Amino acid sequence: MKILFVGDASNMHNCLASQLRKMGHDTVVASNGSHWMNTRRDIDLTRRPGRWGAVRYVAHVLNALPKMRGFDVVQISNPIFLELKPAKVRLVFDYLRRHNRKVVLSALGTDVVYYNACHDGHTYRYSDYMLGSVPSPYVGSPEYVAQEQDNWKLPDMRAHSEHVTAAIDGAIACLWEYYVAYQPLLGSKVAYGGIPIDVDTLPFRPLPAEPKKVRFFIGVQRDRSLVKGTDRLLAALRRVHDRYPDRCELEVVENVPYDEYVRRMRSSHVMVDQLYSYTPATNALLAMAQGLVAVSGAEPEYYDLIGEHDNRPIVNVDPTVEGDIDAQLVGIIERKAELPLWSRCSREFVEKHNGARLVAQRYLDFWNQLFTHHP
């Protein structure tokens, strides 16, 4: 197949593209490199600040369009897959529809459909936006206002989302959260793909014995700290470290490029990531592949979706229960003798459910199904 990925998040599309190339397919990635992560892309769509940055960005997009024709599948990262207003993104989307065989959405981030599910009162028990019936700490914060996340309620954004959702040939979700958001809307046209992890490039570093101190690792994205719950996780880590300074260590990294981020986590035992997620995302899976234990989302709904009933190594924290984060972190310290086994189970989990070849094959199966039913 000839496949174009437009947009990326946390290296997901690039990882898929790389694996598909190894499997004999022709792939192209057009993205901004996930901003500061600076991930690999074949067509650079980075938008620079300021008025001239905007002008140059539009010029780059227009120059890139002829290179985005003639693909079997175009996989976009979001209904807003370019850093442009909805009306302009729609023009590019319609161009891609006209000049390629299939256009599929990667459900991998916040959009109108996910936003609606977060606020409907029944899809999730908690989310980035709501903890039960109470707004999360993110809502109303300066971070929330600065990122204009509430724009998902605006008429032009909703109209654009409806246009894209009606026109795409299907959607593949990387997390349980996005799958259940899109499933009522698209039915059989949505599938769960998972997040690809290139385990071959991430050597497993097993723990030979119980460590003297548990080394915790957490990555902070300055502009996404509240929405990911990193603020609460980091505060809990510091409380636990202050309480047990002789039994644990803490490393905090902030806004480092992707390759450095992966390298720096290697010397730790436990990765702490994402408070409001039901599912382990890229950071947690990268850590687990290297043998770290992940504190992240791992609700029963997720394990049921992937059919995993035996190996459940992720430490799940409940953001709605007061003190649960601290209790889970202390529990890891108290059970540090189990870390070597926990480490092996984490690696096995990623190999079984998120290996890049396995995830790429899920995508291929879904795309082929689209061609079989609707040539």
For the chain, give me the number of helices (H) and strands (E)? 15, 14
pLDDT at 26: 98
Residues 82 and 40 in one domain: yes
Examine the domain organization and report whether 350 and 364 are in the same domain: no
Q: How many CB atoms lie within 10 A of CB 189?
A: 21
pLDDT at residue 71, rounded to an integer: 98
User: Strand 134-135 vs strand 130-131: parallel, antiparallel, or unpaired?
Assistant: antiparallel
The alpha helices in 149-281, defined as continuous H runs, are 155-167, 176-186, 225-228, 230-243, 258-265
**112 and 213 housed in the same domain:** no
- If phi > 0 it is left, if psi is from -120 to 50 it is alpha, else beta; for residue 347 that is alpha
Same domain, 177 and 231: no
Contact call for residues 6 and 30 (beta carbons, < 8 A): yes
| 91: Cβ contacts below 8 Å, ≥ 6 apart | none
Strand-pairing partners, residue 216, are: 250, 270
Pair of tokens at residue 54: 């905007």
Q: Are residues 63 and 82 in the same domain?
A: yes
3-state secondary structure 58-117: HHHHHHHHHHHCCCCEEEECCCCCCCCCHHHHHHHHHHHHHHCCEEEEEECCCCHHHHHH
Same structural domain, 146 and 218: no
Indicate if 179 and 276 belong to the same structural domain.
no
Query: Domain of 38: which CATH number?
Result: 3.40.50.2000
Q: Are residues 6 and 104 in the same domain?
A: yes
315 sits in the region (left: phi over 0; alpha: psi -120 to 50; else beta) called beta
306 in the same domain as 190? no
Say what the pLDDT of residue 177 is. Answer: 97
pLDDT of residue 145: 75
d(CA 206, CA 292): 9
- Look at the chain and report how many structural domains it folds into: 2
Q: Which residue has the tokens 């636990």?
A: 240
pLDDT single digits (tens) 272-301: 998 999 999 999 999 999 999 999 999 999
Do residues 230 and 283 lie in contact, with contact meaning Cβ atoms separated by under 8 Å? no
pLDDT along the chain (375 residues), means of 10: 94 95 97 80 90 92 96 97 94 98 96 95 94 89 73 92 97 98 96 96 89 93 79 94 96 83 89 94 94 95 96 95 94 96 97 97 96 79
Q: What are phi and psi of 355, to 5 degrees?
A: -55, 140
Expressed as residue numbers, the domain containing 255 is 199-354
The answer on 185 and 219 residing in a single domain is no
Residues in the chain, overall count? 375
Answer yes or no: do 236 and 349 share one domain.
Answer: yes
Regarding whether 236 and 329 lie in a shared domain, the answer is yes
